[in-house]
Amino acid sequence: MFCYQCEQTSRVDGVNGCASAVGNCGKDAQTSDLQDLLIHAVKGIAQYAKRARDLGAGDNDAGKFILYSMFTTLTNVNFNPARFTSMLTEAAEIRARVKKAYEEAAAAQGIAAEELSGAAVWDIPTETNELLAQAAMASVRAGEAEVGEDIVGLRALILYGAKGVCAYAYHALMLDEQSDEVYANLESTMDFLASDPTDVDALVGQALALGHTNLTVMGMLDAGNTGKFGTPEPSAARISPVAGKAILVSGHDMADLAALLEQTAGTGVNVYTHGEMLPAHSYPELKKHAHLAGNYGGAWQDQQTEFANFPGPILMTSNCIIEPAASYRRRIFTAGPVGWPGLRHIENHDFSTLIQAANAMPGFAADSEEESITVGFGRDAVLGVADVVIDAVKAGAIKHFFLVGGCDGAASGRNYYSDLVDQTPDDTVILTLGCAKYRFNKKDYGAIGGIPRVLDMGQCNDSYSAIQVAVALANAFECEVNELPLSLFVSWFEQKAAAVLLTLLALNIKGITLGPTLPAFITPPVLNTLVEAFDIKANTTPEADLAAALAA
């Protein structure tokens, strides 16, 4: 195996990437290799699907498979090799279907179908051992000896960004939002990668085009969430448990949570959110359920301790699962793209076994002293007080805005973000999103003119809201976004963050401070290109970076 797609990848003696029997995320070599092979198969599907769509024979079911299969290969999503072997068999069937559609569409229009190569004609084995024997040709580093690590790194940037876009698009699909344009763009992206590109300008251009696609996808996900659950509004989310049977929901998928809330209504079972599910408490159609009892715990990396102490079953809905400890392995369930060998997987939103497990467990014996935090400062809430914010800026009451958000993680150095926020002056406002906020969201930083200094905008995909707020403020001040008193401190961990970063770059947002470490697949020459074009900065110290931001 070789994998360097996430921030926790091995970095030993100048060598970046996990290349041992088990990666730092817990993914074993067999699973890693099968994931690489699945991506190779997706490229083959995309080669035919793109050409078929260009001729008016698009296949959105193939597009849905691309979303799902790419999502399963994100960090901390699916560790079950049997699922990947099964998906590879399905990929062969889908590729044959889209190939036939392409050839028939070409014939109908009197066009000679292209004779494709590479992933398009790979003879996909059905046996795991035969698949693994071919894993080297699908490695993210395939061809590095010929083209060099810079080109391979740029290809990886596009691939990992595409994984993030697919994950967001899958979440949107679960909320009945999909787009022919998005399917077409993703097919084009994977077809591009299937050609083993080597031109730097073309690679950078494709990466930025993918960033624009992700902006569209985040808009779709925003429309799906608000269309199904209402516009987020500032709300108190209880963070201390109440007496009663309990289910804990982690991950990112609001559709799963909504279905579970409907199925547990009137049963006496309370539902708690965990990690990136915290923003659920700001959506009117979710928080109307009285048994959405609160949020339990913090960010994903603490789950082994928090899940062990939770007195009920756990539902993992999307990325961020890590190896379940023995203390709760028999009471954690997976759904959607998530998988771990031996865990029970729930299909089609049928949560009956999960609810049975909750009723068989003790739950919380008594109410804890009530504590809460405020969530729900999406773009509508922030822009609803835009006049107050603008007047405060003009009066000097607000001198600077910070966006401090993204992924949290277990590696040392992430206290940088809490230290940074702690040191921000009292005349500044902090916008936050993603699970990085758990580093500081329980602290009271005061308010300016009745507006809290820390505004929780939601999940990582709610970067879309942050972008809309920045654009609205720039319009109000008749300036460019880059001219605002706004500094972006982005904490990355996995491929959704890579997609968001590409969106920010595609929008020509400059001066982003990225950390806690830079992606291992970004080589020094590629980093120099990004620095020159976008003024990307690596974290140094909170004190130095804060001083630089305020002096700009």
Domain presence at residue 519: yes
Residue 152 near residue 198 (C-beta atoms within 8 A): no
Q: What is the pLDDT along the chain (552 residues), one digit of tens a residue?
A: 999 999 999 998 878 999 999 999 999 999 999 999 999 999 999 999 999 999 999 999 999 999 999 999 999 999 999 999 999 999 999 999 999 999 999 999 999 999 999 999 999 999 999 999 999 999 999 999 999 999 999 999 999 999 999 999 999 999 999 999 999 999 999 999 999 999 999 999 999 999 999 999 999 999 999 999 999 999 999 999 999 999 999 999 999 999 999 999 999 999 999 999 999 999 999 999 999 999 999 999 999 999 999 999 999 999 899 999 999 999 999 999 999 999 999 999 999 999 999 999 999 999 999 999 999 999 999 999 999 999 999 999 999 999 999 888 877 778 999 999 999 999 999 999 999 999 999 999 999 999 999 999 999 989 999 999 999 999 999 999 999 999 999 999 899 999 999 999 999 999 999 999 899 999 999 999 999 999 999 999 999 999 999 998
Evaluate whether residue 5 is within a structural domain.
no
> Using CA atoms, how far apart are residues 192 and 393, in angstroms rounded to an integer?
45
Dihedral Cα 150, 151, 153, 154, nearest 10 deg: 120
DSSP one-letter code for 112: P
Output the pLDDT for position 14.
79
**Contact call for residues 195 and 203 (beta carbons, < 8 A):** no
Both 255 and 181 in one domain: the answer is no
Asked which of 228, 246, 273 is the last residue of a domain, the reply is 228
Judgement on whether residues 222 and 243 belong to the same structural domain of the protein? no
What's 168's domain CATH number? 1.20.1270.20
* 8 A C-beta contact, residue 404 and residue 433: no
Q: Which residues contact 43 (CB under 8 A, 6 or more apart)?
A: 118, 119, 120, 190, 191, 193, 194
**What's the number of domains the chain is made of?**
3
Say how far apart CA 432 and CA 189 lie, in whole Å.
Answer: 30
Does some domain include residue 492? yes
Q: Quick one: DSSP state of residue 114?
A: P
Amino acid at 513: T
Domain that holds residue 298: 235-360
61 and 156 co-located in one domain:
yes
What is the DSSP pairing of strand 537-538 with strand 513-515? Answer: parallel
Q: Of 360, 385, 402, which residue constitutes the final position of a domain?
A: 360
Asked if 223 and 239 sit in the same domain, the reply is no
The CA distances from residue 410 to 236, 436, 540, in Å, are: 27, 11, 19
Rounded distance between C-alpha atoms, residue 234 and residue 378, angstroms: 8
Q: What tokens does 223 get?
A: 């429309």
Same domain, 406 and 321: no
Residue 237 CB coordination number (10 Å): 22
Same-domain pairing of 298 and 336: yes
- Give DSSP secondary structure letters for 418-485: HHHHHHS-TTEEEEE-SGGGGGTTTS---EETTEESEEE--SGGGHHHHHHHHHHHHHHTTS-GGGSS
What CATH code is carried by the domain that includes residue 350?
3.40.50.2030
Residue 268 φ then ψ, to 5°: 85, 5
Compute the Cα dihedral for 73, 220, 202, 150 and give only its sign. Answer: negative
The answer to whether residue 451 sits within a structural domain is yes
Quickly list DSSP for 297-328.
S-SGGGHHHHHHH-SS-EEE-SS---PPPTTT
| Domain final residue pick, 207, 228, 249 | 228
